[in-house]
Structure 1
């Protein structure tokens, strides 16, 4: 019974995360029924549980592929996803087998957490907590993206990104994130960093 309660708590957190992070979300029911990114995360959670049982790995892969066909989001069941992951719009998101994603991460459509080598072992990125990955961004290889970092839309990241930094461009260039201004008359436009 405790496992079921924990699972339901995590599902509720996923709904809350989507509702908080998407200004277009009108209700929890809308998110639960109409958000393919949420559906993909839920399917991943089931597939990942199966993946942890050696005799169920094939079934886990087949289930994840069925989810991919239904949602447009491909998450390998071997990946390690944190809590409250929000995949906005979802279509085209790919998360590889050895990827590790922290808590409270946002991935926009077309984001890829992929590999760049065809060998066994750690070949996908690790994202810290509170990371935002822009639309179409590619994070390739066993790189590390620190807590609170932002990856700009269509950036191609092939090197580590420190905590709190912004990475933009092809290949991505890491820029230090400015300290937030407390003066309301001199607030910097965040678009200049993305």
Structure 2
């Protein structure tokens, strides 16, 4: 990765926080006070280390130090796309074989976890523009389609098609309302029942 690309990625991470969080006021504030951004930046370094001979242990140690500092655990082997925004962040877990697309938003307490102790693909794959509500658990090698939204505290153990809304325990897929706008209402499962 060139220095120009590196700075471009860091700038994108700041810009997405400014765009997605109405409380964010300046790039400086985001850079120094947003644990979700710090966790993503540390992940980017740990992920590069993970793929270098002899640096897997230091990569894991960096991810654990970041977890202690931010409350966000991202395995260095996970594959994260561009412009991931982790809002608030405390309690977010992203497992080793998780794959996250571009322009994804994860709220605090979200888990991209496994259901098996076997080797191989055991964590979710999220498409582009997916929003995962606070406390939601997406478990196993399921696929969440582009533009899907996972409601707060939902437990997803099956695939969710592109553009759908999944709410409840276990999560049920609901069609997205025709006049849909992304706001806090999607986090309230009661409006879909």
TM-score by length of 1: 0.93
Which runs of 5 or more structure 1 residues have no equivalent in the other structure?
A: 182-188
| 1:176 positional shift | 1.2
Q: Paired residue for 2:49?
A: 50
Q: Deviations over 1:54-83 (max 9, x none)?
A: 311011000110010001000000000000
What is the correspondence of 1:1-194 to structure 2 with a 5 Å cutoff? 3-180=2-179, 191=188, 192-193=191-192
Deviations 1:65-106 (A, max 9, x none): 001000100000000000000000000000000000000000
Unaligned runs of at least 5 residues, structure 2? none
Q: Could you tell me how far 1:177 is from its partner in structure 2?
A: 1.0
What are the Cα deviations for residues 136-190 of structure 1, in whole angstroms up to 9, with x where unaligned? 0000000000000000000000000000000000000001112237xxxxxxx75
Aligned residue pairs, count: 186
Q: How big is each residue's C-alpha offset from its partner over 1:10-61, in whole Å with a ceiling of 9 and x where there is no partner?
A: 0000000000000000111100000000000000000000001131101100
- Measure the CA separation in 2 of the matches of 1:8 and 1:103: 18
CA offset at residue 5 of structure 1?
1.0
3-state SS of paired residue (2:112): strand
Distance in 1 between residues matched to 2:23 and 2:177, nearest whole Å: 28
Structure 1 residue ranges, 4+ long, deviating more than 2 angstroms after superposition? 178-181
Quote the offset at 1:3 in angstroms: 1.0
1:4 to partner: Cα distance: 1.2
Normalised by the length of structure 2, the TM-score is 0.93
